[in-house]
Structure 1
């Protein structure tokens, strides 16, 4: 019987090969196909119009990099069985299967208190039941319970295939060249020592470039103040809709699974609620916002209309908290202008903070393998940039409020 084999032409990595029946079963499954209806970068297209690639693109790209990484390790005589190779490839394909609409932007908002990795695991377990246990080893590796930790580190770690793909892919689709990384060089430098993933000494500078690119992408793209504004507005729309949701209100009911998560959902993810979650994608939220732009509730309709028309809240960022007098002044001014109550104005004027730590010491350290066989954590080697810059957290404080020219009436 001939081997199943198909190639997918990817704009970032070129041709991606799918060559095992189990991989086909995963890709063809409705849970996986849902990922083509979820944008990878949520609201980033409000700033970078090309950033409309999907979670499915990213999953296939990360799978391709995993294939390359496994080949390199096997060429270096790292023992990886055919079963382990297939399982880790399945795991990287499925690593983001639990993402909901608009990905991280709505994490904990639609399904409160449940992380997407927890949902990913539950979805994997459902698929494993359907596949008669073919994903047993995949789940063991994904949950880091397998006796070869380096396989899990390829999926989830400081130098995992997930990060290498999304930095390259997001850079490509946004056109932000600062995110370009030499992932091919890093892959060539990967090795395994004592069952831990390590990088050969001559790959240190490529890793350094990777970490710097990641930091720059966070501030220039992922945490861009206009992207943050669109995401915060989206979150506030969903929060307001949840508060005023009433199954008898035809102006807010959507006749979609969103109704369940706004109304009857009790926080328990069982098989029924998981199936409903897997019916949700970006289009459900987009349709909801269109409908809610005509809702009688002033807060919901105003925020929805503004987001539809890209009338975004102004964002100010600084390195220290905003003075309370300044916040009060903005709040009172906006409340008077839009005739809002104290409770309502909190949807339009609000503060918070965001932190970006590019490299954090912990369980996912980057280990450097020297020629003499010694292994050392990257921030402890004689490299001032890693020690002083990349591992230092950056915290910024923000305030959002309507711009001066924002229309009073919709």
Structure 2
């Protein structure tokens, strides 16, 4: 059982360090075609499947230079003399939050999560005495709570199978709390989060749960369903570095060269093109990236674009998915920062790209909503109808943002 009491700001994109280019073309091992980022006329090519030097063998969690540490000269303030009244002249600015990622560099829990390899089944877990003890405890608890009754198998009925699921629970410093083993069938709900601002009410609720179920209170929330919670002096920092690392492993791009952006500026997708042979892989990777947007609003637009072709992806669509993953490779430590705010103001921002889809001429819009300066809601999607002007698409985006705020 885990408790957490506060939430809430987005991060600033960190620029991955530059890698030296070499005069070789990369070839995708799945589709056996050259990388679309490597034009034939160019003498520089991205190497995306070669094993890098020893210093790049594992994904780095070290943040890049923060704006405070940057050696670049400060920009000169320029005041426009144009009579037009702009938002900046009126003192209206979108919040700019610099996420301090330096606390992740020596984080024991995050290091332990990357080093852990959970057993995939009973045979591998049975070789570990601590896992065996966890399985015995699970069976004893199931029998003690009368979880099931042995009955004759009903005729003409399908029997739901079961499997063992193994997890390792950690303390906030990265040390192992205990090994868990669960025998699950179809629906698996194990951990829950209790949050609130009244400690006595939380303690009373946990005490009532203890009387009804066999539960363990794990204290403050540290890791839950792929989300890592780091407590800072000013609030919380949420990240999915471990989950993002798993996407790289699944895609076979753990040693790929990072990309600076998740999507090219002038990228336009169509449904035509050579079909991608492994649609299951495509849907699996896109689905994983969708879950990653829980703490990565910078991926929302790019993931929305590739999600529109799940039914029939092409090679170009798969290349776009790979570019998103390359970007994730260089930004594993990115996440959301939430701070305590003395002024809980609610502010929303919206934007629209008129007729972005060249096939349907429908516009794409996005919004971000801040509560007390903390990013709490965001979205990027295609508008359901065609707008006859850019002004109309902007007003539609504004209306959707207002509806989300209300």
Name which one, 1 or 2, has greater alpha-carbon Rg: 2
Q: TM-score, normalised by structure 1?
A: 0.25
Structure with the bigger RCO (C-alpha within 8 Å, sep 6+) is: 2
Q: TM-score, normalised by structure 2?
A: 0.25
* Higher strand fraction (1 or 2): 2
* Higher helix fraction (1 or 2): 1
